[in-house]
Amino acid sequence: MQQTAFRKTQPALTARPELFSGVAGAVLRAPVAFFDSLSALQRQAEERAHLRRLTDHQLQDMGLTRSQAEEMARKPRWSRAI
């Protein structure tokens, strides 16, 4: 079974904290934050697609109905709540 919980990851750039303050820090952190966001959106899309593929029995085990699962799966891509 695929893990569906979002994991909090460590920042990729942690070597010298003084480099990551102010404008320079923001510029250095921006690409990492962008790719982290893209990664989170991709995981969320995969989880919603997986939710649609579950059988009624599997959904019942999770305490969900088919209509609840479909409602969650239809949420807009930018909606962070599953």
The pLDDT tens digits of the residues spanning 20-63 come to 677 777 787 888 889 998 898 889 889 889 999 999 999 999 99
Q: How far is CA 67 from the centre of its chain?
A: 22
Which comes out higher in pLDDT, residue 8 or 71? 71
pTM of the model: 0.57
- Note the helical H segments in the chain: 22-53, 56-62, 66-73
The residue behind tokens 């962008």 is: 34
pLDDT value of position 1: 47
Measure CA of the first residue to CA of the last residue in the chain; give whole Å. Answer: 18
